[in-house]
Amino acid sequence: MSEGFGKGCHLHLIDGSAFIFRAFHALPPLTRKSDGLPIGAVAGFCNMIFKMVEDNKGPDAPTHVAVIFDYSGKSFRNDMYDKYKANRPPAPEDLVPQFPLTREATKAFNIACIEREGYEADDIIAAYAREAREAGGRVTIISSDKDLMQLVGGGVEMFDAMKNKRIGVEQVEEKFGVGPDRVIDVQALAGDSVDNVPGAPGIGVKTAALLINEYGDLESLLDRAEEIKQPKRRQTLIDNRAQIELSKKLVTLDDQTPLDVPLEALEVKDPDAEVAMKFLAEMEFRTLTKRVADILGVEPLVIAEPEKTADQAEAPELPPIDADKYECVRDAAALQRYIDQAHKRGYVAVDTETTGLDEMRADLVGVCLCVEPGDACYVPLTHKDGSDDLFGSDQLAEGQMDADQALAMLKPMLADPAILKIFQNAKYDAKIFARLGLDVAPCDDTMLMSYALNAGIHNHGMDVLSERYLSHAPIPIKTLLGTGKSAITFDRVPVDEAVKYAAEDADITLRLWQIFKPQLHRKQVTTVYEVMERPLMPVLAKMEMSGIKVDRDTLSRMSNAFAQKMAGLEAEIHELAGETFNVGSPAQVGEILFEKMALPGGKKGKTGKYSTPADVLEDLATEHDMPARILDWRQLSKLKSTYTDALQEHIHPETGRVHTSYVQTGANTGRLASTDPNLQNIPVRTEDGRRIREAFVAEPGNVIVSLDYSQIELRILAHVAGIDSLKQAFREGQDIHASTASEMFDVPLDEMTPEIRRQAKAINFGVIYGISGFGLARNLRIPRAEAQGFIDRYFERFPGIKEYMDDTVAFAKEHGYVQTLFGRKIHTPEINAKGPHAGFAKRAAINAPIQGAAADIIRRAMIRMPAAIEGLPAKMLLQVHDELLFEVAEDGVEPTIARVRDIMESAAHPAVHLDVPLVVDAGQGDNWAQAH
DNA sequence: GACATCACG
DNA sequence: GACGTACGTGATGTCC
């Protein structure tokens, strides 16, 4: 089999050390259960390796593979320059024991593990890459390290395993502004603070690329340094020549590094199942052990459950999750036994199986109950007999209870106040039951519990929770339903198969509930869960089922009008371009504008394509007609495809209304998200767009009423940061942006101009978002220095704001989360990261308590709303972050507005008494456009 | 399925 | 000293 290495071969070189560092910082800390050994980076490493083993069957699979590590200690570069990598902090304590483990992992998967004293991993990679290239093969370097980018080209490319992104010549040019062959020249000039490569002082990558492109290469540049026009740059290059030349030596990889293991010996080998299993079991990677066993076709090793520590002593001994042990309930007696158990215990986990994901259209197929871990059943109700022919028959499968009889038995249990019903995503099941006339209360919801506990750490779907907290990967629904065109609905799944999948979900839900319930208290989020999560679910369910009436004809007419206008614009655009092309393709638009027409300002994005967002085109509109036409076309295209066309599809055939679905756990900050369709981003900012709201109408005899909080986030900021002047302005009911402008620019209120007010408004928003000079400059289209000046002055005039921001970031760094006024925790796992992540995390941490508190307030109002409008002819239909929309009988409008406004304005009470008033504006009309 | 773009607060 | 940057979402079309 082994014929050496040559043409047609594909070598994968994995940069092991770099990967471990990145995995360590990117992944949550994970420890081995039995002894607390930190193994997060090892887990990330194994997952990556496993993915590669899995992909080894693919067409682009490697024929040869090796993992390369840095040899601990110094390399030959330290002999050239003693400060090389001298300012590297020592590896984190939790990472150190993981280094040898990753080498073991490599060997366990039967992959060559390479390192060499006196050399860095990068040098070994360079040497292998050179040999492979010379032999006519292809090379993929699994790394995102910029120091390796000099190797790209001529059959060598890189692959960023964490971002799942390939790095070719284009991406290198993107990063360095020069081709791979000149990368070392740029690096020599720019230096590298991380590795302590000095470079030329004051010159970064941008300037370096500029110089290299002008002079061809580093040597010519240094020889001709006298010719450089800018005096400072010229002097820098002349003065630091030796240092620059040394830097080049430091960044140049040694592709002559001696290789102990010849290229041929790196041939891909199948892992030895026994060795791999043993290692994974030792690490206690439960899920991975099963997956690897699956791929290798062996039995997974059983991993012993660790001894209970004192902390876990209360946790009961649980039977393993075993899909074959679940009961299929086919008659009333069997069902009654489970109902009796639910009565006896006072709780039961429930899950429904249906024909689809849309709760307003899906039909119930079966119900699962779980009364204790491992003791779960599935009650099939409307499975079809699929065996007859290709399409299946519509005959009910045999051995199922009569659906009406089963529901009649379940009904009193679901409504029994003494029995707690536990769901994962209760709103879905509650709506399915509600459409069948069954009320469900009281409910607990493991998804909402996870959200209260862990917002910002991970998502809250069953798969994630089960893997994370039960170390168990649930049966994927795909294995039952298939995918794509050939996918079937759950009622076509044979009952025997359905039992395992369905009952397992109820079992998992109950186990999660047992874990989360005590944690709510320990983590002090019981109030958040009980006051702001649990009671919101039925309110949202009711709103979603109400839906909002949407007039199809209005939308349809608008679609036609948009289509006509678009066709006209498209013809004009093609005329201007002198050729036809796809206006909807940003790539083609970029080509036409920046290549063919050679307009200025073309910037290429990550994928090497020209970037053509609206603000760029707006700037170009002064140069040429085409950008303006393209912008018009884009606006119409958006309105048509996302709104006037798509919304028609969402009108429910029976209710004639559009029913959105709110995701209660959708935003980390506590905001809701709206999907299928999203009714929280219906256009309003442009005239054409706003007309779409005319299609959102009230039933005859009713009106649409809208109430929204005025400046709620700025009011919260004034309160939490304790800014007296801001509070005062709000108490006096002033125009807050004008007031800010007056304070900042020393302009009296009665002399305020719209322009000055506009700038202050942008600053006010910027503050809420964790302002930066760059961001404000871009938003206001002013020079960066000027924007920074505004910010400095703002902080000077409102000193409490800066203090609040610093305190918030410090709190996040210490605790790993920030908190709203109402106790909601938003975790910030990236806050202590290095690199560009840190900036994002910082701004998110500053924003979260403000956005989150506003979200808490409107949630509190919504929860109180059903009782508040009881008896009024009013229905709450939609929430758009700071706005609530109602449909109200004409004669009930005034009292409804009065009561709703009262609830909204006092929603923070009694938990929090704000130092500023909350103010709610109201509007009404035949449609949403008029009401807003 | 990733990316670019754009709709909202 | 340079880097990359406003916060939070979801839907659509293109392109691989």
End-of-domain residue from the set A853, A885, A908: A853
Say yes or no to pLDDT of A371 above 80: yes
SS3 A753: coil
Q: What is the pLDDT of residue A406?
A: 98
Q: How far is CA A386 from the centre of its chain?
A: 39
Q: What is the pLDDT of residue A173?
A: 86
Ramachandran angles phi, psi of A142, nearest 5°:
-85, 95
Say yes or no to pLDDT of A261 above 70: yes
pLDDT digits over A329-338, tens only?
999 999 999 9
Say yes or no to pLDDT of A314 above 50: no
Residues A796-811 have a mean pLDDT of 94
Residues A52-77 have a mean pLDDT of 82
Same-domain pairing of A357 and A504? yes
Same-domain pairing of A827 and A745? yes
SS3 A704: strand
A806 within domain boundaries:
yes
- Strand A702-709 and strand A920-925: the pairing is antiparallel
Total structural domains within chain A: 6
Q: What is the pLDDT of residue A308?
A: 47
pLDDT-derived band at A923 (thresholds 50, 70, 90) equals very high
A444 within domain boundaries:
yes
Q: What is the pLDDT of residue A316?
A: 56
Same-domain pairing of A567 and A613? yes
Same-domain pairing of A517 and A649? no
DSSP, residue by residue, A803-872: HHHHHHHHHHHHHSEEE-TT--EEE-TTTT--THHHHHHHHHHHHHHHHHHHHHHHHHHHHHHHHHTTTS
Angle A469-A474-A476 from CA coordinates, rounded to 5° = 145
pLDDT digits over A868-906, tens only?
999 999 999 999 999 999 999 999 999 999 999 999 999
**Peptide bond between residue A783 and the one before it cis (omega within 30 degrees of 0):** no
Contacts within 8 Å (CB) and 24+ apart, A656-663 = A656/A549, A657/A546, A657/A547, A657/A548, A657/A549, A657/A550, A658/A547, A658/A548, A658/A549, A658/A550, A659/A360, A659/A544, A659/A545, A659/A547, A660/A544, A660/A547, A660/A878, A661/A358, A661/A359, A661/A544, A662/A540, A662/A543, A662/A544, A662/A879
Residues A238-251 have a mean pLDDT of 93
Q: What is the pLDDT of residue A392?
A: 63
CA-to-CA separations, A322 to A319, A373, A376, A475, A508, in angstroms, rounded = 8, 10, 10, 11, 11
Residues A634-638 have a mean pLDDT of 96
Q: What is the pLDDT of residue A21?
A: 85
Q: What is the pLDDT of residue A28?
A: 66
Tell me how far apart the 2 most distant CA atoms of chain A are, in Å.
97
Residues A453-458 have a mean pLDDT of 94
End-of-domain residue from the set A853, A888, A914: A853
Say yes or no to pLDDT of A602 above 50: yes
Is residue A915 within 8 A of residue A719, CB to CB? The reply is yes
Residues contacting residue A523 through CB under 8 Å, at least 6 positions apart: A453, A825
Other Cβ atoms less than 10 A from the Cβ of A655: the count is 13
Is residue A929 within 8 A of residue A703, CB to CB? The reply is no
Same-domain pairing of A150 and A34? yes
pLDDT-derived band at A312 (thresholds 50, 70, 90) equals very low
SS3 A633: helix
A676 within domain boundaries:
no
Residues A412-431 have a mean pLDDT of 97
Q: Which nucleotide is nearest to A636 (CA to C1')?
A: B6
Other Cβ atoms less than 10 A from the Cβ of A126: the count is 25
Same-domain pairing of A222 and A153? yes
pLDDT-derived band at A843 (thresholds 50, 70, 90) equals very high
Say yes or no to pLDDT of A72 above 80: no
Q: Using CA atoms in the order A497, A499, A501, A505, what is the torsion angle rounded to 10 degrees? A: 180
A558 within domain boundaries:
yes
A86 within domain boundaries:
yes
Same-domain pairing of A27 and A146? yes
Is residue A673 within 8 A of residue A663, CB to CB? The reply is yes
Residues A692-717 have a mean pLDDT of 97
Per residue in A521-553, is it b (16+ CB within 10 Å) or e — as a string?
eebebbebbebbbbbbbbbbbbbbbbbbbbbee
Q: Which of A286-300, A418-432, A781-795 has the lowest mean pLDDT?
A: A286-300
A140 CA vs C15 C1’ separation (Å): 23
A873 is near strand B: CB distance < 7 Å = no
Q: What is the pLDDT of residue A390?
A: 59
A673 is near strand C: CB distance < 7 Å = yes
Is residue A702 within 8 A of residue A927, CB to CB? The reply is no
Same-domain pairing of A102 and A187? yes
Residues A674-684 have a mean pLDDT of 96
Nucleotides of B under 7 A from a protein CB: 2-9
Residue A880 and residue A858: Cα distance in Å, rounded? 10
Q: In which element (H, E) is residue A189 found?
A: helix A183-190
Same-domain pairing of A162 and A238? yes
Please give the mean pLDDT across all residues of chain A: 91
Q: Which of A94-103, A443-452, A808-817 has the lowest mean pLDDT?
A: A94-103
A87 is near strand C: CB distance < 7 Å = no
Is residue A912 within 8 A of residue A716, CB to CB? The reply is no
Q: What is the pLDDT of residue A503?
A: 96
pLDDT digits over A576-598, tens only?
999 999 999 999 999 999 999 98
End-of-domain residue from the set A266, A293, A322: A266
A469 within domain boundaries:
yes
At A238, which CATH number? Answer: 3.40.50.1010
At A452, which CATH number? Answer: 3.30.420.10
Is residue A705 within 8 A of residue A696, CB to CB? The reply is no
Same-domain pairing of A498 and A590? no
pLDDT digits over A92-128, tens only?
778 888 998 999 999 999 999 999 999 999 999 999 9
pLDDT-derived band at A56 (thresholds 50, 70, 90) equals low
Domain that holds residue A758: 713-853
Same-domain pairing of A514 and A610? no
Residue A494 and residue A482: Cα distance in Å, rounded? 13
A695 within domain boundaries:
no
A202 is near strand C: CB distance < 7 Å = yes
Q: What is the pLDDT of residue A309?
A: 45
Q: What is the pLDDT of residue A451?
A: 97
Residues A6-22 have a mean pLDDT of 89
Nucleotides of C under 7 A from a protein CB: 1-15
A909 CA vs B4 C1’ separation (Å): 44
Highest mean pLDDT among A98-112, A168-182, A194-208, A224-238: A98-112
Ramachandran angles phi, psi of A868, nearest 5°:
-70, -35
Rg (CA), chain A: 32
A136 within domain boundaries:
yes
A730 CA vs C7 C1’ separation (Å): 23
At A648, which CATH number? Answer: 1.20.1060.10
pLDDT-derived band at A291 (thresholds 50, 70, 90) equals confident
Residue nearest to nucleotide B3 (CA to C1'): A607
Residues A421-430 have a mean pLDDT of 98
DSSP, residue by residue, A320-345: ---GGGPEEP-SHHHHHHHHHHHHHH
At A872, which CATH number? Answer: 3.30.70.370
Other Cβ atoms less than 10 A from the Cβ of A409: the count is 16
Say yes or no to pLDDT of A3 above 70: no
A450 is near strand C: CB distance < 7 Å = no
- Side-by-side strand order, sheet with A156-160: A112-114, A64-68, A10-15, A138-142, A156-160, A165-167
A691 CA vs B2 C1’ separation (Å): 33
Q: What is the pLDDT of residue A611?
A: 92
Look up residue A472 and give its amino acid: H
Q: Which nucleotide is nearest to A764 (CA to C1')?
A: C6
Residue nearest to nucleotide C9 (CA to C1'): A673
Give the residue from A711, A710, A727 showing the smallest Cα distance to A800. A727
Look up residue A147 and give its amino acid: D
Residues A861-870 have a mean pLDDT of 97
**Peptide bond between residue A38 and the one before it cis (omega within 30 degrees of 0):** no
Ramachandran angles phi, psi of A913, nearest 5°:
-110, 105
- Side-by-side strand order, sheet with A420-423: A327-328, A375-380, A364-372, A347-354, A420-423, A443-445
A193 CA vs C4 C1’ separation (Å): 16
Ramachandran angles phi, psi of A423, nearest 5°:
-130, 160
Same-domain pairing of A299 and A338? no
Kindly state the DSSP code that residue A617 receives in the 8-state scheme. Answer: H
SS3 A732: coil
Say yes or no to pLDDT of A722 above 60: yes
From residues 624-653 of A, list those within 7 angstroms of strand B by Cβ: 631, 634-635, 638-639, 642
Share of chain A above pLDDT 90, in %: 73
A170 CA vs C16 C1’ separation (Å): 16
A931 is near strand C: CB distance < 7 Å = no
Look up residue A283 and give its amino acid: M
pLDDT digits over A156-179, tens only?
999 887 777 788 888 888 888 899
SS3 A92: coil
